[in-house]
Chain A
């Protein structure tokens, strides 16, 4: 395990004291996390960060808050180098079931997104580039109902990238995919981060191994106990559940999953999840 050299620069997304309740029931409590622009010498590379949590803990709620789709009960989300309060459209967000516009062809799905940000001629060029890059060109005329799950997911990611600035949030990108498809998504995620220094992929998932293999920062959502040992309602990120994989020498390795330290770390995380 070798820790590769890196530096942190400006914040890209900041979660400050985020809490969320529905009808008085706390789901999330006091969540703090900051995603920083990572730079590596002589490399142009964005960042991948991960949020783990068990099913039902509030990951999708956190996604919707980060995407600006719902306002948290308390706290703020700030995005971009200017650290502005988030509004819908600032953060690309691929939901769990990769929705697309079913009434538009794949090509038109991408074009309608590209036109949000580019002039028509430019937009068409961008769409072509993404169709090629994501292996979707042969399916351009198909309607979403005829795409396979993997194609749909890639199309949804491309659609979000075409109209968002650098930040893209993936809710459960690996669930329900077979091994080959997971490798394909991993390839796409790496591809996205190498496209621009500022590109940032936020993976929100319950798949520990795959997320850890891709990320350079990790946050673990869990419940805390109070002094009397009772469970405090509302999931949060405890200070000991923030991991810097770059520092630990687990980030950006070609085949990190084969390294013994990686297996140890995954085991550690699993124990933490069981304990919380």
Chain B
């Protein structure tokens, strides 16, 4: 018990799990018995959730949004990795710099611009997401690359590896696990963007549009239900990424305090 309040303590797994379950239960109980004005009660949210699933096709819409998100993430990851790795060559450094600054472009303007360039609604949605995710990923990935030290590069060189081989060994292979972490952290941004893009470009449906409608008709319980679904999806995704990291990069968390 005491370990729960000691700094940097490592409580036993069982103690910690019990504590988390307790905290969650307390939150639910508070919600159940002290309904706030405006804020929908737990019962209402659960009812809205059931309704959304049966009549509005929440699951299908979620799946549609998620597969688009994954598709965009895959393409953006490949693009961002390429752009970041190319920073090894001075010629390409301005591109990475410019790409990372494009985080400041607003989505609304971008969507309009993309709509002029590509024809189908799906394409617009996808290209906006890819663009948005790429610029965030490039920012994270280039900063990972910048953590490469002189010592690490010299180490590869002393083994007789040429510049490209050293780069491949130290930066590409050596930091793949950190790149996966960057992707994990930025996946959340895709979810923020996808809900926005879907409201801007409504022909494609998706969970964003569903959320937008609930908002417009002031169905607060529905809004909350959808938000919770997105939250749960996000948490599950995070977990999958952690698993991937454990499987593919077993060395990754060695030597850290956790």
- Interface residue ranges, A against B (CB under 8 Å): 64, 67, 69, 88-93, 95, 97, 99-103, 112-113, 116-117, 143-146, 159-160, 163-164
Contact = CB atoms under 8 A, between A and B. Distances in A.
A160 B249 contact: no
Contact of B159 (A103, A116, A144, A145): A116
B169 A163 contact: no
Given A102-B174, A103-B249, A113-B159, A143 B154 contact: no
Majority DSSP secondary structure for residues of A touching B = loop
Nearest to B163: A88
7 contacts: A67-B158, A99-B152, A101-B155, A103-B176, A146-B255, A159-B159, A160-B158
B250 interface: yes
Contact of B158 (A92, A97, A101, A146): A92
Given A90-B160, A146-B254, 10 more contacts: A88-B160, A89-B158, A93-B154, A93-B158, A97-B151, A99-B151, A103-B176, A103-B177, A103-B251, A116-B161
A144 B250 CA distance: 12
B158 A69 contact: yes
A29 B157 CA distance: 26
Interface of B: 151-152, 154-155, 157-161, 169-170, 173-174, 176-177, 249-251, 254-255
A116 B160 contact: yes
4 closest cross-chain pairs (CB), A and B: A89-B160, A145-B255, A145-B254, A143-B251
A99 B177 contact: no
A69 B250 contact: no
A192 B154 CA distance: 23
A117 B173 CA distance: 21
Given A99-B152, A101-B169, A143-B254, A88 B158 contact: yes
A145 B158 contact: no
A1 B255 CA distance: 48
Contacts of A100: 155
Nearest to B166: A88
A69 B154 contact: yes
A113 B170 CA distance: 14
A97 B249 CA distance: 23
Contacts of A159: 159
Nearest to B252: A103
Contacts of B154: 64, 67, 69, 88, 93, 95
A143 B177 CA distance: 14
A99 B154 CA distance: 9
A89 B160 CA distance: 4
B188 to A, nearest CB: 26
A145 B155 contact: no
A163 B160 contact: yes
Contact of A88 (B157, B173, B251, B255): B157
Nearest to A91: B158
